[in-house]
Structure 1
Amino acid sequence: MITLLLMTHMMTLSGPLATVEGAVDSTIPKAAREADYYQAVNIPVPSGIVLEVGGLAVGPGPGEVYASTRRGDIWKIEDAYGQSPRFTLFSDGLQEPLGLLWKDDWLHCVQRGELSRLRDEDGDGRADVLETLCDDWTISGNYHEYAFGPRIDKDGNFWLTLNRPFGDEPFGKMDWRGWAMRIGDDGKMVPMAGGLRSPAGLEIAPWGDVFYTDNQGEWCGTNKLCHIEEGDYFGHTWGVESAKLPGSRMEYPGKTPDGLTYVEAKKKIPDLKLPAIWFPYNKMGKSAAGMLWDTTGGDFGPFQDQLFVADQHHASVMRVDLEQVDGVWQGAAMRFREGLSCGALRLAWGDENVMLVGQTSRGWGSVGKKSEGLEYLRWTGEMPCEVLTCRSTRDGYKITFTLPMDRSTLEDVSSYRIENYTYKLHSP
Structure 2
Amino acid sequence: MRVYLLAPDLRTRGGFEAQMSALAAGLAAEGVQVFVAIREAVAPDHPYWQRMQQAGVTLSAPPAWLARLLDPPLAWRQASMRLLLALCVPLLLLAALADRLRRGRSWARSWQGAVGWLHGRFGRWLFADGLSWWLWRRLDRARRRWPPDLVDVQHSMLPGGLVYADDRGLPLIYTEYGAPDEGLASVWAGLCPVIGRADAIIGRAQASLDGLQRLCGPIPPGVVVPNAVTSAPADDALRPTHPAGPAPGPVIVTAVGRLAPEKGPDLLLAALRILHEQEMAGESPAGALRVVFAGDGPLRSGLQAQAAAWGLAPYVEFSGAFADLAPIMQRTDIVAHPTRNDGRSVSVLEAMAWAKPVVATRVGGLPELIEEGVNGLLTPPDDPAALAAALHRLAQDPDLRRRMGQAGRARFLAGDFTVAAMVKATLAVYRQIIVQKSAVGSHP
Q: Going by fraction, where is strand more abundant, 1 or 2? A: 1
TM beyond 0.5: no
Q: Which TM-score applies when normalising by structure 2?
A: 0.26
Greater relative contact order, per chain length (Cα 8 Å cut-off, separation 6+) = 1
Larger Rg: 2
Q: Going by fraction, where is helix more abundant, 1 or 2? A: 2
Q: Which TM-score applies when normalising by structure 1?
A: 0.26
